[in-house]
Amino acid sequence: MVDQFFDESREQSQVKTSIVQKYLMAWFNVIKRHAQRSGNKVAYLDLFAGPGRYQDGTLSTPLLILQKAIEHPELREMLITVFNDKDQKNSQALEIAIQSLPNLDRLRYQPEVRNKEVGIEMINEVERLTAVPTIFFVDPWGYKGLSLQLINSVLKGWACECIFFFNYARINAGLSNPLVKQHMDALFGERRADLLRPRLAEYSATERELAIVEELSLALQEMGGKYVLPFRFKRLDGSRTSHHLIFVSKHPKGYEIMKDVMARESSGDEDGVPTFEYNESFRSSGILFEFARPISHLKEMLLDEYAGRTMAMNAIYESHHLGRRFVKNNYKTALLELEQAGSITCNPPVGKRRKKKGLPTFGDQVIAQFPLQPKG
């Protein structure tokens, strides 16, 4: 039951909320000057907001976002918030919970709570609302109302980003259920969903997950969400995937910011490379395979893909990290290890660069020269 979802604040939900909060603040710090010059407004939309509190009293995402805004002198002068839940009981409880927040009157724009079904009318309304930079958070209990059209409605605007909770367990089951075909078609696109269904019957559980997330990512990219970043959540026993938190952006800067946020929220790392997962590490291929390769593989890729080229570290990072789970520090580690092994030459060389805590560093502007053929 939907109500049971709010019976307790699961650790998974806390990680999800932490990612959304941290991204909102990092995003705001990047775009606030431009936003101040062009209307002095930014927005946060949540169309499946829930009652605001779990049964144990813990605040859920809407209230935590508002708390963060109340505490921030600039954000509270600019943030417009719209929360919606089609369940009237939830929307009424959320309204009461919001009004109980301390110092709510510090917000220049008071939160708006709605009680509507998420459909075509809501999609058209979202398109009107996103005339200002917007974070669009979509966290449905299942899949009804979640569609490519809904996500696309927010991505059209400048600095408008979407973060949605993708209920993998239910969508995996739904793709083979003719009774919910229209919902699956709305999420993947009818043609793509029809091509995907017969393939899934031949796949193992792991292959099914890879194919489903891959096809969703491709569908999002086709409609303009060029940069797609998944973060996986496992069930409490670690046996299966329950959800993916999917980030969609039109701009590489947003992708880079979210990658850093998700990296810090990962439950572990492999060879210093974050797993982009809450629980066990990725073991996959396709779009997820690129999020499962440690430093040794990164060094091999760099030697192969940049053979014969000379580039600054930051240029290498910016041209290579998209679609992969490596963060900037991973590139610095890989390049430093290649330099120390004599596989590449650098300017300035390691002996002439500053050290940090007695250890050599690899700055953004250090030039790396790759041999035409990898050594060894």
- Banded pLDDT at 1 (limits 50, 70, 90): very low
Q: Rounded mean pLDDT of 20-25?
A: 95
What Å distances lie between residue 315 and 10, 194, 320, CA to CA?
Answer: 40, 40, 8
**What pLDDT band is residue 4 in, cutting at 50, 70 and 90?**
very low
Looking at residue 347, the DSSP 8-state letter turns out to be E
pLDDT at 229 over 60: yes
Helix 205-222 with 181-188: angle, nearest 10 deg: 60
Q: Residue 348: is the preceding peptide bond cis (ω within 30°)? A: yes
* Predicted confidence band of residue 238 (pLDDT cuts 50, 70, 90): low
What pTM was estimated for this model as a whole? 0.81
CA distance 275 to 183: 30
| Cβ contact 173:242 at 8 Å | no
Residues 269 and 329: their CA atoms lie apart, in Å, by: 13
- What is the pLDDT at residue 167? 84
Q: Is the pLDDT of residue 9 over 70?
A: no
Residues paired with residue 249 on neighbouring β-strands, in sequence order: 227
d(C-alpha 181, C-alpha 38), whole Å: 43
Please, are residues 85 and 69 in contact by the beta-carbon 8 Å criterion? Answer: no
The pair of structure tokens assigned to 44 is 């946060």
* Summary mean pLDDT of the chain: 86
- Of 326, 334, 336, nearest in space to 361 by CA: 336
β-pair type (355-356, 359-360): antiparallel
| Helix orientation angle between 205-222 and 190-200, rounded to the nearest 10 degrees | 170
Q: Which residue reads 């809450």 in tokens?
A: 278
pLDDT digits (tens, 9 = 90+) for 23-57: 999 999 999 999 999 889 999 999 889 898 877 77
Q: If you ran DSSP here, which 8-state letter would residue 49 be given?
A: -
> DSSP string covering 178-202, please?
GGGHHHHHHHH-HHHHHHHHHHHTT
Q: Which pLDDT score, from 0 to 100, does residue 236 have? A: 67
What is the average pLDDT across 159-171?
88
Tokens 């997330």 belong to 213
Q: Which amino acid is at 205?
A: A
Q: How far is CA 107 from CA 30, 61, 92, 115, in A?
A: 21, 17, 20, 22
Q: What is the pLDDT of residues 268-294, one digit of tens each?
A: 777 788 888 887 434 444 445 455 457
Looking at residue 247, its pLDDT comes to: 94
Cα-to-chain-centroid distance, residue 252: 12
Element (H, E) at 310: strand 310-312
pLDDT band at 246 (very low <50, low <70, confident <90, very high): very high
Residue 80: per-residue pLDDT: 94
Most confident segment among 15-29, 222-236, 291-305, 343-357:
15-29
Q: What percent of the chain has pLDDT over 70?
A: 91
Q: What is the per-residue pLDDT for 374?
A: 54
> Tokens at residue 73, please?
């002198």
Within 10 A of 157 (CB to CB), how many other CB atoms are there? 19
Structure tokens at 298: 């990164």
3-state secondary structure of 231: strand
CB neighbours of residue 144 within 10 Å: 18
Does residue 217 have a pLDDT over 80? yes
